[in-house]
Structure 1
């Protein structure tokens, strides 16, 4: 496997800078902003829940990934906005898509309701300028791609030159906390609940309300202030659980790492909601930058909003 491409794909979910030009704010990928915390930690402990209960639930969960697989059975509208930035943090590329995804008699159809590209988006060969955008398009841009077509509850390994590193990227997004082998210099830093990394983190949990009406638990894994930056890659991971059935409704990840070979700083958020009793994705936000030697630094932000889910008869 090409290690440069593996780093590229991995860094898709890595990095964030403050935007100082053109007054286009980067999307703030922060699940916490959608939640009102209304109950102290002590009251959760009175329900006999502790940090290990939440850790076990994160590691055992399959519903978060299945929510993306569920999209294939629905019609809905997706709006995708992407901004790319130059080294001075000025916007140099914009991508907008409004897409009607339809499911008719088991057949999936995509209709572009709006499509606009401006600035430096594509290379001369028609491929995206940034590998970050290519990975976004592969994983989130096409709900009916084969990427979410496989059955089963978790993303798995894949064969082929490109499929392998894309599979590792999916594992990091949808099954965090596990060791992901094959990521140069970073495989040992993904297993945040393991014995080697557990002492580097604080565990915080509270009760709250999600989207004004849904009772939830918020479980935060946060790097201890005393921990050196180089000891960890994941600085924070927040998971939102439905208090009624302990299914995951949202996840926020903050990742930063820097050494002589690469530098990244990324925040990413994914939110779900129920439609007809089934979990489906409603919003994905990302902001970040990454830098690998011999390649141009990449900076981008994304917003994906999906709404109007209707299940085909």
Structure 2
């Protein structure tokens, strides 16, 4: 059984502007990786390109979310939304058991609590961000994703197109995300034009108390103009024994007269019954794009106690 995740939630103060703001809630307090040391990858018979190739070729992260449809598990979702002063104005809590039996899936809710400004009059979420992530994760809970490629195909609607772009950023970082003005070419961080703008950092650590891992960080190079990069950091956690990807952190920031983005996502996997499965996803984001109001939200999504 996947190791149970024990977590707590607490407040931290964030200096969000040049003046004092209300505290911003940080749901990501689960510490699962302990860094032992910085490593010389050449002594491990690896090089930068080995890690880049593994990131670009990986399909395991996407497959891990598809694997959820095979199992029963306990899930807990915390969603917080914020006003312009970073004060919480909406909360969603869900604790549920997803049951897989004879090819049929059901979700039994153990607890459901909503408060604040979450829904529109028609019952849909107020924030497009929440709607997008509900699609990303609840879709996996209910049916599992399809077997198609993450970076190909044509969306049949504008809304679906936005969702597909989000899926590429989550499951296939480093690839080009077409159709986003000013940003598309900047998401391809390993291209010849973008590589000189980043530094690469390596460390060795322990994940979930027992798994030896490499941490491969791609971070914006000091002195690089903020307008030149969109992905400020992409950190990938590799199982040292198998080179499978077990964790991913991405920090996306971009600001101009049309788009204002500041998004941080962290996703972690573990093995159950020989399959990689998600155990934790966290998100903190502020974004403002054309035709949508400014949105601020944070999520903590936990899957635990996987069962056959």
Task: Provide the TM-score with structure 2 as the length reference.
Answer: 0.89
- Three-state SS of the structure 2 residue aligned to 1:256 is strand
Superposition RMSD in Å? 1.9
- CA-CA distance at 1:167 after TM superposition: 1.2
Tell me whether 1:150 sits opposite 2:159 in the alignment. no
Query: CA separation of 1:170/1:75 partners in 2, compared to 1, >3 Å: closer, same or farther?
Result: same
What runs of 5+ residues in structure 1 fail to find an aligned partner?
Answer: 1-15
Residue 268 of structure 1, CA deviation? 0.5
SS in 2 for 1:46: helix
3-state SS of the aligned residue for 1:237? strand
Correspondence 1:96-175 to 2 at 5 A: 96-146=93-143, 148-151=144-147, 154=150, 156-161=152-157, 162-175=159-172
Shift in Å, 1:145: 4.0
Alignment partner of 2:64: what SS? helix
Evaluate the alpha carbon distance shift between residue 17 and residue 174 of structure 1 in structure 2; reply closer, same or farther with a 3 A threshold: farther
Distance 2:24 2:110 in 1: 24
CA distance, structure 2, for counterparts of residue 108 and residue 261 of structure 1? 42
1:64 is aligned to 2:65:
no
Match status 1:309 vs 2:282: no
Residue in structure 2 matched with residue 27 of structure 1 by the alignment? 27
The alignment partner of 1:261 has SS state of coil
Q: How far apart are the structure 1 equivalents of 2:235 and 2:132?
A: 23
Q: Tell me, yes or no, if structure 1 residue 82 matches structure 2 residue 74.
A: no
Aligned with residue 223 of structure 2, among 226, 229, 234: 226
The alpha-carbon deviation at position 153 of structure 1 amounts to: 6.4
Provide, for residues 36-75 of structure 1, a one-character-per-residue CA deviation record: whole Å limited to 9, x for no partner.
Answer: 2224322x32121111110000011111110000000000
> Structure 2: how far apart are the matches of 1:303 and 1:47?
35
Cα distance in 2 between the residues matched to 1:37 and 1:230: 31
C-alpha contact (below 8 Å) 1:62/1:153 kept by paired residues: no
Distance 1:154 1:295 in 2: 25
> Within 2, Cα distance between the matches of 1:228 and 1:150?
39
Aligned residue in 2 for 1:208: 205
Deviations 1:69-122 (A, max 9, x none): 000000001100000000111111000111110001111111111111101000
Residue number in structure 2 paired with 1:7:
none
Q: Please, what TM-score do these two structures have when normalized by structure 1?
A: 0.88
Matches within 5 A, 1:249-260: 249-260=246-257
Q: Which has the higher contact order (CA 8 A, sep 6+)?
A: 1
Tell me the SS of whatever aligns to 1:202. Answer: strand
> 1:270 is paired with a residue of what secondary structure?
strand
Asked whether the 8 Å contact 2:15–2:21 carries over to 1, the reply is: no
Give the aligned length: 291
SS in 1 for 2:258: coil
- Assess, with a 3 A threshold, how the Cα gap between structure 1 residues 56 and 277 changes in structure 2: closer, same or farther: same
